[in-house]
Amino acid sequence: MKTSTLRLLPISLLIASATASAGNFAIDARGDAMGGVGVVSGDFLTAPFYNPALTAIYRRNDNVGMLLPSVGINYNDQHNMLDDIDRAASALKNNDLTEAGIVAQDLKDDNASVTIGAAAAFAIPNRYVSMNAYAKLYTESFAEAFVPDRANSLVQLRDTEIKGAALGVAEGGLSIAKYMTILGHHWSFGATPKLQRIYTYSYSASVEDFSFSDIRDDGSAENQFNFDLGALWFYGPLRVGVTGKNMISNDYTTSDGAYTYKMRPQYTLGTGLIADFWQVSVDYDLNEAEKFDAVNDNTQMVRLGAEVDLMRQFKFRGGYYKNLASSEDEGTLTAGLGISPLNITQMDIGVSYTNENAMGVYLNFLSSY
């Protein structure tokens, strides 16, 4: 097992993921460049990914919009697990007792993940009932090292297991929203009924046989109806919004019974100042998402983002996000650029950086007429 090969696995997974799926995950290069914010800062075209109420918020000259395609990949190995697995395999091959003892300690509680997604949307905003039809695919693969206590470090490494789990969702739906004035206040309310196909996978291997690309070999799938809800209040540039994603709870157990994924409603509060040529916003998850049981993959995110628009042609973006559910999360910086020739077609590029072993890249194209 070569470390250089391991570092290319996210790319190979992206190419190989024709059946990739999608969950509670926004696939939007603009938002990803701004730390992942979107509850109040998204637009009518990306509304299904953040807050369905945004479907009714548009400019007067926006009659129709298309997002095609939007793709993203994020690779997170903050604990150097893949390097440690490479070292462990080498120590076993060479019967190096000293190195085995060191790497066994380094491997304890190591974990790594790869997330991949793609999306498309077609929106028709209007003053009666705005609509946005969308589809997205998303998959997240997670692996964790389980190192037993043994007197002999070589035996300890041979008995070490790398256990993995993966979730995928293929999702399609229709966001519907309505703008209204209530007691002099501006509001928008929206809902997104959707159909989902949920895939779950489990995996277990020794340090010598582990490969991220094998995690999705053994899986099962279920179909489900679900829906999202959202609301937005705004006064001038000030906006406050709240959204609930996947309002119908369900549990999905892998075919071997090793893992259960808990899909529960995820509530997020957003606020920000959204002006004509600049904006800043903050999104905060009100509850912690537990995800797979027996796996340390819980999330509760806080996200901050900003954008500066230069003459409607160039948009400069930056942001930050952190997982409050993990005491070891280092926090992630994001940045990106939007280019809008003639303000008709726009290309968005975003990148994220936690450290040299955890980063991502995102790209999308969109048009509005």
Model confidence pLDDT, tens digit, residues 186-237: 999 999 999 999 999 988 999 989 887 787 777 889 999 999 999 999 999 9
**pLDDT at residue 369 above 70?**
yes
Please tell me the distance from the alpha carbon of residue 305 to that of residue 283, in angstroms, as a whole number: 9
Residue pair 121/134 in contact (Cβ under 8 Å)? The answer is yes
CB crowding 345-369: b at 16 or more within 10 Å, else e: ebebbbbbebeebbbbbbbbebebe
- Mean pLDDT computed over 328-337: 94
Model confidence pLDDT, tens digit, residues 269-328: 999 999 999 999 999 999 999 888 877 788 999 999 999 999 889 999 999 999 999 888
The two tokens of residue 157 are: 């490494």
| Cis peptide preceding 48, ω within 30 of 0 | no
Please tell me the distance from the alpha carbon of residue 198 to that of residue 259, in angstroms, as a whole number: 14
Among 82, 70, 89, smallest CA distance to 110 is for: 82
Domain covering 3-368 assigned CATH 2.40.33 in the classification: no
Please tell me the distance from the alpha carbon of residue 132 to that of residue 228, in angstroms, as a whole number: 13
Please tell me the distance from the alpha carbon of residue 351 to that of residue 51, in angstroms, as a whole number: 22
Residue 142: C-alpha distances to residues 77, 137, 185, 202, 232 (Å): 10, 17, 45, 10, 34
- Check: pTM over 0.85? Answer yes or no: yes
